[in-house]
Structures are given as C-alpha cells and as structure tokens.
Amino acid sequence: MFDISAKDDKTRARTGVLTTEHGLVHTPAYVVVGTHGAVRCLEAEDIPKTKTQLIIANTYHLWRSLGDEGLHDYPGIHEVIGWQGPLMTDSGGFQVFSLGFLREKGMRRGKGSSNDDDNGNDAGAKNLVRITEAGAYFRPEDLPEGEEVYLDAEASIKIQEQLGADIIVAFDEPTSPLHDHSYTEAAMERTHKWAERSLAAKESSQKIYGVVQGGAYEDLRSASAKFIGALPFDGFAVGGTYGDAYGGTKEKTRQMLKWSTPHLPENKPRHLFGVGRIEDILDGVEAGVDTFDCVIPTREARHGGIWTAEGRLNIKRGVFSGDDDALDALCACPACLDGLARRELYELFKTKNPQAGRLATIHNVYFFNEFMDKLRQAIKDGGFGEFKAEYSRRFSPVDNSK
C-alpha cells in the first residue's frame, strides 16, 4: 500500500507513494476536505484542475443526512462527488469531541478539524454527546427532545463501508489539551478498545487506519502509539493535536508528534488530522507525517483569504479594489492563468457573486497542492532543511489581518 521513495538524512521527513483502488497519492500530500461528500464551492470538474490527490469526507455528517435507508441505497461516495480519485472517510470520532466537550466549552472548531462547516460554538452551549465504554450517544438538535442516535466502532465501520471510500478510519475519542491526565487516559483506553473492535468489524477490502490519541501527555502519547502501532492497521493517524486550537499550541503539537511517530511502523503511512497551515505541515513532515487534512484552503477561500507565495491576503480589504496584480504572480492555477486580477476578485466578493468563492477555492487548493509538490521535490533533492527554513520565514506566524 505504501512505498517510501526518499528520506531526509537529518529528520524523519520522507516521500512516498500511497496506492489505493482509485489511484496513487504521492506523499507528503494535502488531503482536501469534502465534509458532506462535496468540496464546497467546487464542481466535480473543478477538482482535477487543483492538483488534488486525495479527498476526505465526514462519516458522522453523511450518516446523519442520509439516514440508514439512504445509506442502504447509496451509490458510493466517488459517484456522488463525481471524483474517481482516492478518497478517505473519518470515523465520526471527532464529533464525539466537537459536539460534546468542545461545544460545552465554547471552543473554536475552525483551526483544527476535518469538518468544513462554518458554525462555531458559544461558551456554555449544550453538550450533545453521552459517552459510554461501548460507544457514543448523540442528541442532535434536529431530533425531538430526549431522542438520541448511537454510534460505536461497529456502526462506524459499517457506515464507512457503505460510503465506499478507499481509506477508512477506526472509531476513536479525541481529547483536548484541556483534559486532565485521568480523563485523557480513560479516553485513550476507550480508543484502544474501539480500535480492536473496528478491525474486527471490517468486512470490506478498504484500507483502514488506526488513530493515536493520548492528549498532551508524553506517557499517554507514547503508550497509544505503541499500542495502535502494533495492531494490523494499513496506516495510522495522529489525532487530538489541533495546532493552536482547543487549548493547544504549535509547540505542544510538535511535542505530540515527537512522542508518537517514532513508535509507529516505518513502512506504513501516517496521517495528521486537522492540521494544515504551512508551518504546521513543515513541522509534521519533519516528524515523519505523510498526509494532512484541514479546511484552511477551502474555508478561508470562501471568506476572502487568499494564499500566495509571499503570504496570505485578505482580498476583501478595500486596498485591493484598484489592484491590477494577479492573485499570485507565480501561480499556475486556472484562475491565475486566466488573468484574474486582485481587484476583480475583490469586486466579486463585494457583490456576493458565487464565482468569488469558486475562484478563490480553486486558487487556494491549487496553492497548497503545489506547495506539497515543491516540498516533495525538496526532500528528494536533499534540501528539506533549507526549504523548511525558507517557507517558515514566509508564513510563520500568519497575520490574518492582511
């Protein structure tokens, strides 16, 4: 499933090829988010133009929108998206956290999730999750008061098999750096049990990833990586890091990766959930991560955040109203090749033209995928250290006011 083609001699960075039933993924790779079975603002024919290799969809949201009857008749996520390339689905485990603890604490979802919804949380919102040793009960707000829906390892795997992605994920319980050691350890042990049950439940030929948890604690992270890494998964994901979201920090994420990746099998792919800024990708690749998913390219595009070779622009600022420059002079995305000027995109956003989100999304997704192309080449050429230093200078920290 995974072949390593080159390694950096000073770090854990590597390039490789991930083989799926719907094609190859050259790693390190950015995984584009299609939460509800679509990449927001893009038509199916737009996706190949963005150099996208792999898309991830959200199991919980698809399950809730389709229902059991809809899943029974579901034609498969490739057909629905209109994309015949590689696809992943997560397990629904993130919603155990995001609709529970995260919602209750009023913490932001946007910085670290594989969910491309825009709604955040207000402090003190109702916790919609009841966690047991067996699984999780959800109390969605669209159900009558008192009614619940239940998701566990077996149900998650069955749903993912019905959705039909190339890569599926074991059910897990993420935690925040704000959780104490005792609760984090209990959640980690549940995740380990659910991982074993997920493996036992799988009946399809899909590849399955196990998830490392353990929060912000070195002993738990290392223990989880050793336990999950010893199970017969096809690949592994590191969860519960979230960059500087949910009470964490970038430094803490770097530590979590250092505590986790050395204990995972070298010859299998590693995914990092919900992390996707340039500086975070560079840190992840240095720690030996192969794929990353994040909503940053798509969500920020819809709100006028444009990524360029020299940094991030807020194209909705008035300063761009008369700017005839290209979005990025070095970009070869369809929007830039067609000569789209900054002032034109500014005007499209100002008039609420739907093409604004579409063109911005095409550009951003292409930008991140092109960045990954350059990153892979730097590793192959033995220049990862210099590449990381240069792009860290350009993009860290990101000034979202620009």
The catalytic residue among 8, 90, 166, 328 is 90
Residue 331 CA to its chain's centroid (Å): 24
Under 8 Å between Cβ of 361 and 39: yes
The catalytic residue among 166, 283, 293, 328 is 293
- The beta strand positions in 113-257, using DSSP E, are 129-131, 135-138, 149-152, 167-169, 207-212, 235-238
223: left (phi over 0), alpha (psi -120 to 50) or beta: alpha
381 is catalytic: no
| DSSP-derived secondary structure letter, 41 | T
Q: Which two tokens stand for residue 23?
A: 């094609």
CB atoms under 10 Å from CB of 186, counted, come to 15
Tally the residues of the chain.
Answer: 402
Query: Is 73 exposed, middle or buried, given 0-12, 13-18 or 19+ CB atoms closer than 10 A?
Result: exposed
3 is catalytic: no
Under 8 Å between Cβ of 154 and 195: no
Q: CA 325 to CA 109: how far, in whole Å?
A: 33
State the distance between the two ends of the chain, measured CA to CA, in whole angstroms.
42
HSE-up (13 A, CA, CB side) for residue 252: 18
CA distances from 315 to 4, 301, 334, 341, 365 (A): 39, 9, 18, 11, 16
HSE-up (13 A, CA, CB side) for residue 366: 25
- The beta strand positions in 229-319, using DSSP E, are 235-238, 270-272, 291-294, 305-308, 311-314
Q: CA 260 to CA 238: how far, in whole Å?
A: 8
Residues known to be catalytic:
90, 293
